[in-house]
Amino acid sequence: MIKRRVKQAMFRELKTIDGFDFSFNPSVPRKIVYDLTTCQFIHQSRDILLIGPPGVGKSHIAQAIGYQAIKNGHTVKYRSIFDVVRDFMRDEAFAGQDKIMDKYLKPDLLIIDDMGIKPLAKRSGEYFFEVIMRRYEVKSTIMTSNRPLEEWGKLVGDVPAATAILDRFLHHAEIINITGKSYRLQNRQSGITTSDDPGKSESKSSQDACKGTQK
């Protein structure tokens, strides 16, 4: 069952709290994070916001809590903000299908990662508002963001909608502010390549071969 639910969750990669290096950025509240892995917040229909600069471990923590939730018997869905935009644009292209919205409403825990990296298209913002509104006080949601809350109006593309989203989402939310150094930049500066970064996985870089042609 765990293997099946992990596959259905569609994590970017499987992370655990035990694999997180709390000593690197002391601003990460260890006790609060471990308390969240008990998943009591899911039973209470509360939400979590992890906010801070890129590379400080937000995605690792979110996915690790999601994995622990699965082990505790809950259903989980992980989507990056890029997935959100793509899903809702596809839903708009094939009007009348409710499968996309159901995918966001059904799981006990929904994780939306990287909020702020990509602004939502107008229609996507409307769908996103509906997701948050319908999950409010019913199901739990985790979001990670590297942008301050006052900029969410621009991200959603609709200031009133963003205000309504934050009003509901933050009502029962645990807000974890993380500051400090980037794990990925630290590894790059020290010349170390690792696939066990506590933030996101180290992405494989590809070099474009630029060849000039002469006549």
9-57 confidence digits (pLDDT tens): 999 999 999 999 998 888 899 999 999 999 999 999 999 999 999 889 9
| Cα gap 51→178, rounded to integer Å | 6
CB 39 within 8 A of CB 72: yes
CB 183 within 8 A of CB 57: yes
pLDDT tens digit string along 64-106?
999 999 999 999 999 998 898 888 877 665 665 577 888 999 9
Question: How many other β-carbons are positioned within 10 Å of the β-carbon of residue 159?
Answer: 11
Residues in the chain: 215
| Cα gap 155→147, rounded to integer Å | 9
CB 202 within 8 A of CB 193: yes
| Cα gap 154→67, rounded to integer Å | 32
Query: Hey, which residues does 49 pair with through a beta bridge?
Result: 143, 175
The reported pTM is 0.81
Measured in degrees and rounded to the nearest 5, phi and psi for residue 110 equal -110, 130
